[in-house]
Structure 1
Amino acid sequence: MKARIIYAAILLVSSNVWGGTFSGKISDIADSPGIRNSSWGLSVKDAATGKVIAERNPRLNLVPASILKVLVTAAALEKLGPEKTFSTRLYYDGEISKGFLNGNVYIKGAGDPSLGSQFIKETAPLEDVYKAWAEAIKAAGINVINGSVVGDDSAFESVQPGSWAWEDIGNYYAARPSALTLGDNLYKLYFKPSGSVGGEAAVLRTEPYVEGLKFENYMKTGAAGSGDNGYIFAFPGQFSAVLRGSIPQGSPEFAIKGALPDPALFAARSFNSYLGKAGIGSNKKPYSGRPAPGAALTLITETASVPLKHIVRVTNKRSFNLYAELLLRLLGGGKPGEGLAYVKAYVAESGGDASELELSDGCGLSTRNKTKAETFTDALRSVYGKDYYADFYNSLVYPGDPDATGHLRHLGKGTALEGKLRLKSGSLSGVRSYTGYLRTKKGATLVFTSIINNYSVPGSSLDKIHEELLLSLYHGN
């Protein structure tokens, strides 16, 4: 009952405060139930002139959640350029004699997020990539590998940040940012819901098959419509996982997504399996590793990624953590710490306040990240004047965007904001954030950032409040 009263009060505020001045509207929101005891930072500026249109605690340090991705993607476009590509290469060592390779085949990753991706429309399916690689191996005169297929991810520090929550590790949105990433470093885990609510949901299979992966299953069945509340608990690099939570009734099977324990090993095993089916045998087990120091390597073939602008588009529209973490490492020469340092320097050069900027990851999943609303506004103002602005702008979500995921796709749909708004949002427990661009009725472009921490209302009500806040900015009242 208490939650319903708070929710009703918020809706009342969001529908009735818009008659006064804009600053009065902000004050009314800030004093509304469930928000008055939260921490809220708001910064709105004219993109062209920098004039402050509205603000509230714009320099308050807050947890930003996933809007952090806009800093990483903008920095990547600045440093690398929208057309930058990344290549995955196949090498062999040893000698070829009469169709036999007396050595290993290495899959050398360089941080391409798009290899075999199911989310980037412009990239080839993994099956097509493997086919091209197998044909190149045959063209090199190799029919049998007297050695192993080796997945090499040594170009990066391929570990998750230590500040990520334990309940996230093992799930696809906390996947390992490996230099050898393929198929988005995820697998789908299928369950058969029980006939009774509360009954065990039986594990059916994974797609793709992940060799050696074992599950300790405590997954329950929820009521129809209860949604995906399932979690996969697993240490990085380990092939045993604990399943907890619930999946809904209502279909013969239901899938959740997990993170591959070792993407480089998966690449070696899955490609080795493909080669066997293509008639190319290997005499030793595939593994993850690197060539011996000083080994002479011969290039077999290479596969280039799609241009960076397509990767940025999916990173922001889908709020895909893995891609943001890979871009961070690409900015830092494979080292996440150096990538974070570059992002901070980029923010400072963009006119943003980086003096108290604390960054622990590139995707916003860590609650140790601390930044100001105005920092985002100033950084996005800088992007507004760059030659890559169109690529960045088009990576943000618009009302009704079919490529978006989560709550933001419906914000502004069916209102005057359609065709005028581009946003990135973020959400963690107790955190909601929004940043982007708004074209007003009078033709001005505004940059908008709002970050709220420690609120106690439904996130959907915050979306509604921000929709009406943006509508008020659009109309200029």
Structure 2
Amino acid sequence: MKTCLALLFFLAGTGTLRAGPADAKIKQLAAAPGIRNASWGLSVRDVQTGKAVAERNPSLNLVPASIMKVLVAAAALDKFGPGRTFPTGLYYDGKIDNGFLNGNVYVKGSGDPSLGSQLLKDAAPLYEVFRGWAAALKAAGINVINGAVVGDETAFESVQPGSWAWEDIGNYYAAQPSALTVNDGLYKLFFKPAEQEGGEAAVLRTEPYIDGLKFENGMKTGPAGSGDNGYIFAFPGQYQAVLRGSIPKGPAEFAIKGALPDPALFAAQSFSYYLAKAGINSNKKARKGAMPAGALRLAEAPAVPLKSVVRVTNKRSFNLYAELLLRQLGGGSPSAGAAAVKAFLAGAGVDVSELDVEDACGLSSRDTAKAETFTALLRAVYKKSYFPEFYDSLVFPGDPDATGHVRGLGKGTQLEKNLRLKSGSLNGVRSYTGYLRTKKGRTLAFTSIMNNYSASGSAIDKAHEELLLALYGGY
């Protein structure tokens, strides 16, 4: 389960089919090799009337993968509004005496993912944030810190779900959802591939540099063009990582992405290093901890609006952002966030009696949901004031801001200007959910989830493109 992307499908024995123009295509796909023995849930409804246009096992409980993100994104937009921000604050305690701060400086996180982000286009570069904070310290008369720079992530329960797989932990897509997230929770690890296939790939460096991080290197060189098949095994807070898998032969260097071992500590260390270069020294090592009551605020980092976070969450299927949103919904608690998501859905008239929200991003194989759950949610969001922001976060054919195979679905067809969707994938899981404007001008909300298929992922993509084209032309 290298990614949490989610495309759509599940086939299960016989299911209920609504008669209609797409009926023949659904029957054909359900009987296709590689699909016939899978479990498939399909739900398609007219967003205006609620009429079922096409169905197959719409109430079957399935593993949904990354389309879980749309539930959390919609709940966050509904609770906070598209313009809400969650700024990171700079504080200090103690007394200032002749340029000396006899106390600590605190970087207090509130779950903003934009600090040092490379994914959010309107995020300020980290060096600009640090430059502003350094200026704020100097303006307050602080030239020396008789204490430490402290990173505070206590606003959230900053731990990964226990149901995530060991092979995922340590990689960027399973990063720790810290209230003091920085640099998108990740680092790049660069290798020099061997000249021969099967040779050891040499570790070159990390970007950014992470103090104390060591590697037990078992990374091999695979065939040219084989892509990123490397894994980083490391527990949160662990600075000894194990490298396994392969990278492709050919390029002078090749990078994979890992999860920062301790985001809050990294943020504190990075700012402390910057201050030293700016002439403000600390006499204690940077650390993480809780900011005491009564600390005084010096500055805030500019934070991006929620709509920008939701856009990246869905278009890039970025797991970390979804997990941060879940904790925002729960006041820092992921379990309370899951309860908030279910309460939002129930308030929108969605049946949540069997919905299992184990995480926000869909990486957990213990998430279970029905196709009709997502379709009902899409119909409810269609009538909300924040629908334009939600719709904009979904992927369209050829979308330059999206990642993964879903970008190509429908490209060069009549779907190009009429389809918006979120997809997902795990091993044996494909899912899709979104909106389709038909040839006759109707808008359909659709969801397809498939588990335990044996066809290739590209074949499942093609099958869904054909199904969506049938829906487009028939309604």
Give the TM-score category using the shorter length. Answer: over 0.9
Identify the match of residue 362 of structure 2 among 364, 372, 397: 364
Cα-Cα RMSD: 0.9
Which residue matches 2:467? Answer: 469
| Correspondence 1:444-455 to 2 at 5 A | 444-455=442-453
Q: Residue 154 of structure 2 contacts residue 290 of structure 2 at CA under 8 Å; is this kept in 1?
A: yes
Which residue matches 2:432? Answer: 434
Whether 1:81 aligns to 2:81 is yes
User: Partners in 2 of 1:351 and 1:377 — Cα distance?
Assistant: 11
Q: Residue 400 of structure 1 contacts residue 413 of structure 1 at CA under 8 Å; is this kept in 2?
A: yes
Identify the match of residue 327 of structure 2 among 317, 326, 329: 329
Q: Residue 86 of structure 1 contacts residue 304 of structure 1 at CA under 8 Å; is this kept in 2?
A: no
Which residue matches 2:406? Answer: 408
User: Partners in 2 of 1:80 and 1:53 — Cα distance?
Assistant: 33
User: Partners in 2 of 1:64 and 1:40 — Cα distance?
Assistant: 11
User: Partners in 2 of 1:33 and 1:291 — Cα distance?
Assistant: 59
- Displacement of 1:138 in angstroms is 0.9
Which residue matches 2:16? Answer: none
- Helix, strand or coil for the counterpart of 1:83? coil
Which residue matches 1:15? Answer: none
User: Partners in 2 of 1:296 and 1:461 — Cα distance?
Assistant: 60
- Helix, strand or coil for the counterpart of 2:327? helix
Whether 1:109 aligns to 2:125 is no
Structure 2 letter corresponding to 1:85: T
- Helix, strand or coil for the counterpart of 2:61? coil
Q: Deviations over 1:141-177 (max 9, x none)?
A: 1000000000000010000000000000000000000
| Correspondence 1:151-162 to 2 at 5 A | 151-162=151-162
Which residue matches 2:191? Answer: 191
- Helix, strand or coil for the counterpart of 1:24? helix
| Correspondence 1:24-39 to 2 at 5 A | 24-39=24-39
Q: Residue 41 of structure 2 contacts residue 56 of structure 2 at CA under 8 Å; is this kept in 1?
A: yes
Whether 1:122 aligns to 2:122 is yes
Which residue matches 1:301? Answer: 299
Structure 2 letter corresponding to 1:410: G
- Displacement of 1:235 in angstroms is 0.7
Q: Deviations over 1:89-143 (max 9, x none)?
A: 1110100001000000000000001111100101111111111111111111100
- Displacement of 1:265 in angstroms is 0.3
Identity of aligned residues (%): 71
Question: Which of structures 1 and 2 has the larger relative contact order (alpha carbons within 8 angstroms, sep 6+)?
Answer: 2
Structure 2 length as normaliser, TM-score? 0.95
Structure 1 letter corresponding to 2:325: L
Q: Residue 64 of structure 1 contacts residue 431 of structure 1 at CA under 8 Å; is this kept in 2?
A: yes
User: Partners in 1 of 2:21 and 2:93 — Cα distance?
Assistant: 72
- Helix, strand or coil for the counterpart of 2:461? helix
- Displacement of 1:21 in angstroms is 4.4
Q: Residue 171 of structure 1 contacts residue 257 of structure 1 at CA under 8 Å; is this kept in 2?
A: yes
- Helix, strand or coil for the counterpart of 2:88? strand
Q: Deviations over 1:296-354 (max 9, x none)?
A: 31111112311100000000000000000000000000000000001111111222210
Q: Deviations over 1:352-376 (max 9, x none)?
A: 2101001100000000000000000
- Helix, strand or coil for the counterpart of 2:111? coil
Structure 2 letter corresponding to 1:325: E
User: Partners in 2 of 1:354 and 1:314 — Cα distance?
Assistant: 26
User: Partners in 1 of 2:103 and 2:142 — Cα distance?
Assistant: 11
Structure 1 length as normaliser, TM-score? 0.95
| Correspondence 1:269-280 to 2 at 5 A | 269-280=269-280
Which residue matches 1:384? Answer: 382
User: Partners in 2 of 1:114 and 1:58 — Cα distance?
Assistant: 37
- Displacement of 1:184 in angstroms is 0.3
Which residue matches 1:243? Answer: 243
User: Partners in 1 of 2:54 and 2:351 — Cα distance?
Assistant: 18
User: Partners in 2 of 1:223 and 1:40 — Cα distance?
Assistant: 35
User: Partners in 1 of 2:303 and 2:402 — Cα distance?
Assistant: 22
Q: Deviations over 1:248-306 (max 9, x none)?
A: 012100000000010000001111000001111110000011134xx431111112311
Which residue matches 1:14? Answer: none
- Helix, strand or coil for the counterpart of 1:129? helix
User: Partners in 2 of 1:379 and 1:264 — Cα distance?
Assistant: 35
Whether 1:290 aligns to 2:293 is no
Structure 2 letter corresponding to 1:208: P
User: Partners in 2 of 1:136 and 1:191 — Cα distance?
Assistant: 39
- Displacement of 1:398 in angstroms is 0.3
Q: Residue 86 of structure 2 contacts residue 110 of structure 2 at CA under 8 Å; is this kept in 1?
A: yes
Segment drifting more, 130-139 vs 397-406: 130-139
User: Partners in 2 of 1:240 and 1:403 — Cα distance?
Assistant: 34
User: Partners in 1 of 2:250 and 2:128 — Cα distance?
Assistant: 35
Q: Deviations over 1:391-441 (max 9, x none)?
A: 000000000000000110000111111111000000000000000000111
Q: Which runs of 4+ in 1 moved over 2 A?
A: none
Which residue matches 1:90? Answer: 90
- Displacement of 1:237 in angstroms is 1.1
Paired residues, what number? 456
Consecutive unaligned residues of structure 2, counting only runs of 5 or more, are 1-19
